[in-house]
Amino acid sequence: MPHKHNAGRRHHIPKMAHSVTNWPEYEAGLRSRGSLTLWITPEALAQWQAPRRSTPGGQPRYSDLAIETALMLGSALRMRLRQAEGLLGSVVQLMGLTLPVPDHTTLSRRAKQRPAVSRAPLPDGPLDVLIDSTGLQLYGAGQWLQEKHGVKSRRSWRKLHLAVDADTGRIVAHTLTGQDEDDPSQVAPLLDQIPGEIGRFIADGAYDGAQTYQTVAQHSAAAQIVIPPRSTAVRSCETGPPTQRDRHLEAITAQGRLGWQKVIGYGRRALVETTMGRYKALIGPRLRARDPDAQQTEAAIGVAVLNRMLAAARPKSVRCKVRAA
């Protein structure tokens, strides 16, 4: 039984049941995820050739959009580069086009160069941003060697930091770091990718600290920061009006931690947990690339694929009443 030693101190919250209210549209969107037209768009075919360069050097044959299309196709269908090359070539042939198809060595080389990945425009108005991180295992046989032959190996990970729009569920920013990078250090790189204002910044207790509050305030002075203070947190010694963190501490003292979470809307942070679970289920729990620059491209492609899937189909769930047994 997990956490059996802390069972007495944990909050016993019953699991909620949900029902999808837009099932016909959601089902049609799920089918469209398997359509090749979702990944090979007319815009990509029209801009397949790379533009002529005006500086000295070799002329690239394929545009960044063509490389992005091939990589997205392989990531969405969980194909290796050779299989993605073969599928893309057969589709171009069936369409009666004379476009050349990038081979797997070109895809691998261009992935290391970190081509620009297109981003969808952000919605208007301040965003309610949810931030969290998850671990992605690196490709290799270290764990298998340890289990099979008893060889000691140090499993390596990368941390994928995500910023999610709470209203649309779309990933609006991401970073990929080493396993030793702490979460608060990535708040500034994530917010730098969001040009608009932040309405609410919601994160878990790992981001609690003056560094996070200062970083968010520098990006959006009027942003409301919702981070649960640590159990040992105390009020700041600054003179003047109480800070946001001080007001959180006062509310927790008066209403309890669960009461504060309900009033402040901290429960929306579960949406970023859902996004990370969706990423690992649809894209995969590990990185296939071995080169660090190629890993950055792979993570960016995975985020783009997930956002396109979400744009094609997103369930609208409502909470159902659970009958007592």
Q: Is the pLDDT of residue 26 over 70?
A: yes
- 144 pLDDT higher than 60: no
Mean pLDDT of 54-80: 91
Give the model's confidence band at 314: pLDDT under 50 very low, under 70 low, under 90 confident, else very high.
Answer: confident
Burial 46-79 (b: 16+ CB within 10 A, else e): eebeeeeeeeeeeebebbbbbbbbbbbbbbbeeb
Please tell me the predicted confidence (pLDDT) of residue 116: 82
Domains of the chain, start order: 16-118+288-320 (no CATH), 127-287 (3.30.420)
Cα gap 64→118, rounded to integer Å: 9
Find how far residue 265's CA is from the centre of its chain: 21
pLDDT band of 9, cuts 50, 70, 90: low
**Whole-number percent of the chain with pLDDT over 90:** 66
Q: Is residue 225's pLDDT more than 90?
A: yes
Q: Quickly tell me which residue has 């108005």 as its tokens.
A: 125
pLDDT in tens, 150-181: 656 556 789 999 999 999 999 999 999 998 89
Backbone phi, psi, residue 173, to 5°: -160, 155
pLDDT of residue 240: 76
At 282 the pLDDT is 94
Q: What is the pLDDT, as a whole number, of residue 319?
A: 79
| 16-20, 34-38, 171-175, 217-221: range with lowest mean pLDDT | 16-20
pLDDT at 222: 92
Q: Mean pLDDT throughout 224-238?
A: 87
* pLDDT for res 237: 73
Q: Which long-range contacts (CB under 8 A, 24 or more apart) does 179-184 make?
A: 179/135, 182/206, 183/131, 183/132, 183/133, 183/207, 184/209, 184/211, 184/212, 184/215
In this predicted model, which residue has the larger pLDDT, 93 or 2?
Answer: 93
- pLDDT for res 52: 86
Exposed, middle or buried by CB within 10 Å (0-12, 13-18, 19+), for 96?
A: exposed
Mean pLDDT of the chain: 88
**Which of residues 9 and 219 earns the better pLDDT score?**
219
